[in-house]
Chain A
Amino acid sequence: MTSKMHIKATILSPLLALVSAALVIAVALSLAGISTADVFTTLWLGAAGDSYRLSETAVKASPLLFTGLAVMLALRAGLWNIGAEGQLLVGALAAAWLGRYTTALSVPLAIATVMTASVSAGLLWAGCAAYLQQKHNVNEVISTIMLNFVAVYFVSYGVHGPLMEAAGQYPQTDPLPPAATLPRLFPPSRFHLGVLLALVAAILVWFYLFRTKAGFRLRASGANPIAARFAGIAVEREITLAFLLSGALAGLAGGVEVSGVTQRVYEKFSPGYGYTAIAVALVGQRSPIGVVFAALFFGALDAGASAVQRTVGVSSALTSVIQAIVVLFLAAYSTDPAQRLLRMDLPRPEHSLNEVDRQAA
């Protein structure tokens, strides 16, 4: 009974938030004298108009799926990983760096090398925050934000310094050798193998969280650390593990993006994937399946917004506005007063009374 209501609430809240956000945007656009219908149709056509646009949506969704999973996994252990952005950046840089030495390798080996590099870098970056949290009681929200900036400047140093392209003209790395490039599956579209890898990652994360004992321990530590400790779970270890896994996923996002899409790393490499990831995890209601849909939605928004900028002339920054309003509404709808108002989480009073009667009898 309650689980059914819970499912209803987890699906209803994000949908309601989406509808509310669409309404707000529609009102704002019409106040500005812009045709709402134009914007929404262009958004839709830009995201799903033809097979090329659909593939663009998938390509944009892939880094959001990896990082969204990263944030979600950490959240399940009760952790705020605001640092997916930094982990993604160092992951990308490590991939570009090690990628240079893969020219002589076979394709699978070269790709494996690049991916391992990005996973290790992301893991290491999250490991710093995990170490500070576990050994020195440093709040992970603050430490991951700080580490994001360190990563930004580190990438800047890398592409201006030792990893700058051989031509020495632009602050960017040399393109990865062809062997280390993820194959494109449906050329001329940019749909690459990494998109499928992201889906596999989502399935693996789901399996890990809900079908293994380790996943249960992780969720228990996040849901109620005190109870978990009483049940004999080493909560600190679980949290550290979740942090590291989260960093690994975010790092992989960077590696896949370099290898599948950009081939190079440069200063503005990430348009804030790691921050959007927080929205993805929340709209996905902290579930792997939800995160897949949320990543697709935000990927579509991304792909659609560039079409809106081209044809309607509204800046693609509109994406951020929509993301923000969706999350704001979702945050508001998830609070107790709102839930009570929406009558989505209340047990029926007569039902519980009956139960009390039955127990008394």
Chain B
Amino acid sequence: MEFLLALVTTGDALLHSTLVAAAPLLLAALGETLVQRAGIINIGLEGILLVGAFAGMTTCYATGSPVLGVCAGALSGLLLALLFAAVTVQLSADQIVVGVSLNLLALGLTGVLYRGIFGITGQALQVTTFSPVSIPFLSQIPVLGPSLFQHTVLVYLAVVLVPLFTFFLFHLRAGLQLQAVGEHPQAAETLGISVRKTRILALAVEGILGGIAGSYLSLAYSNTFIEGMSAGRGFIALAIVIFGRWTPTGVLWGALFFGAATALQFYLQALGSAIPYQFVLMLPYVLTLVALMLLRTRSSAPAALGEPYTRE
């Protein structure tokens, strides 16, 4: 009985921390889904998260308002995404090259600015952060209630976006047009859809969501900024998009899966388990590779993914 109780409590806490870890991944991956559906692959998502985390923390530190922090995070993500758009969409430069340099830029810029503004202090800066919001009634449900319905606003936002994105992509004219741009840009253009405009808009949305996801990291997840704190989450989001077969629902499952791996890792470390925690952390990446290997026949990647488009 005691054991069962312990298991339930642990499972409960695990579920809670899974959602906490999954939310930024979900936000970023939803943005990347949109972008990839429009035929662009943006490796620079990692950099977008990082500037979002930095701008969010700095603004919150200066104003004391986490909401303003998130807005600044979104804005900084948007700016970086528009830079990507300017070079890849307007000039048709290589998306991989620009993505890689975006990550370098974000890493360098946040590092230089952080030390420039706050100096090199050993002590991490603490900022006011988002506090969890309990949803009335639902959070009262025994066992599952607190772990599912006591979260920060950003977690709810991420989850709510999933059905919205599904509806947009598969039921709205604009969403179908966006898919056409990713599948066959030439054909889309002849139908009067502007490939450039569509791709720039998709990137703008990704920038905003990625920036919010980044500010979540500094304002809801760790309450401070650490250089390079995005820690590969942007790349994980890329994996999640593929893992989720370019659909919002699939992306939700992917994010939960990667979130669970993160949460589990902490517990294994805390419990002193025989399984080295590094292998748990490794698992999602290995499984992504396996998934790519097995699912290749049902290829659902947008046909024109990664190819620059130039109007004749």
Query: Which of these, A138, A146, A330, A338, contacts B296 with CB under 8 Å?
Result: A138
A216 CB within 8 Å of chain B? no
Q: Which of B263-309 contact A (CB under 8 A)?
A: 276, 278-279, 281-282, 285-286, 288-289, 292-293, 296, 299
Chain A residues closer than 8 Å to B296, beta-carbon distance: 136-138
Chain A residues closer than 8 Å to B110, beta-carbon distance: 317
Per-position contact with A for B216-259: 1 when CB-CB < 8 Å, else 0? 00000000000100001001001100100000000000000000
Q: Give the shortest distance, in Å, between B173 (CB) and chain A (any CB).
A: 30
The reply to whether B293 and A138 contact each other, CB–CB distance below 8 Å, is yes
Chain B residues closer than 8 Å to A139, beta-carbon distance: 292
The reply to whether A315 and B115 contact each other, CB–CB distance below 8 Å, is yes
Given A146-B289, A150-B285, A331-B101, CB of A317 within 8 Å of CB of B96: no
The reply to whether A320 and B100 contact each other, CB–CB distance below 8 Å, is no
Task: Output the residue of A128, A322, A324 with the most chain B CB within 10 A.
Answer: A324
Q: Give the shortest distance, in Å, between B52 (CB) and chain A (any CB).
A: 17
B97 CB within 8 Å of chain A? yes
Which residue on chain B has the smallest CB distance to residue A136?
B293
Given A146-B285, A153-B279, CB of A317 within 8 Å of CB of B292: no
Task: Output the residue of B100, B239, B279, B299 with the most chain A CB within 10 A.
Answer: B100
For A, the interface residue count at a CB cutoff of 8 angstroms equals: 50
The reply to whether A132 and B292 contact each other, CB–CB distance below 8 Å, is yes
A48 CB within 8 Å of chain B? no
The reply to whether B111 and A315 contact each other, CB–CB distance below 8 Å, is yes
Given A132-B289, A153-B279, CB of A328 within 8 Å of CB of B98: yes
The reply to whether A315 and B116 contact each other, CB–CB distance below 8 Å, is yes
Q: Give the shortest distance, in Å, between A278 (CB) and chain B (any CB).
A: 5
B9 CB within 8 Å of chain A? no
Per-position contact with B for A302-326: 1 when CB-CB < 8 Å, else 0? 0000000000001111111111110
The reply to whether A145 and B100 contact each other, CB–CB distance below 8 Å, is no
Stretch from A8-16, A49-57, A108-116, A155-163 contacting the other chain? A155-163
The reply to whether B91 and A320 contact each other, CB–CB distance below 8 Å, is no
The reply to whether A336 and B278 contact each other, CB–CB distance below 8 Å, is no
A220 CB within 8 Å of chain B? no
Task: Output the residue of A80, A82, A317, A334 with the most chain B CB within 10 A.
Answer: A317
The reply to whether A320 and B111 contact each other, CB–CB distance below 8 Å, is yes
Given contacts A137-B296, A147-B289, A324-B103, 6 further A-B contacts (CB under 8 A): A132-B293, A142-B239, A146-B289, A324-B102, A331-B97, A335-B93
What residues make up the interface of B, taking CB atoms closer than 8 Å to A? Answer: 41, 43, 83, 87, 91-94, 96-98, 100-105, 107-112, 114-116, 227, 232, 235, 238-239, 242, 276, 278-279, 281-282, 285-286, 288-289, 292-293, 296, 299, 310
What residues make up the interface of A, taking CB atoms closer than 8 Å to B? Answer: 32, 80, 82, 128, 132, 136-139, 141-143, 145-147, 149-150, 153-154, 156-157, 160-161, 275-276, 278-279, 282, 314-325, 327-328, 330-332, 334-338
24 CB-based A-B contacts, threshold 8 Å: A82-B43, A142-B288, A145-B239, A147-B289, A153-B278, A154-B278, A157-B276, A160-B278, A275-B104, A278-B97, A282-B97, A315-B114, A317-B110, A319-B108, A320-B105, A320-B108, A320-B111, A321-B104, A323-B104, A327-B101, A328-B83, A332-B93, A334-B93, A337-B91
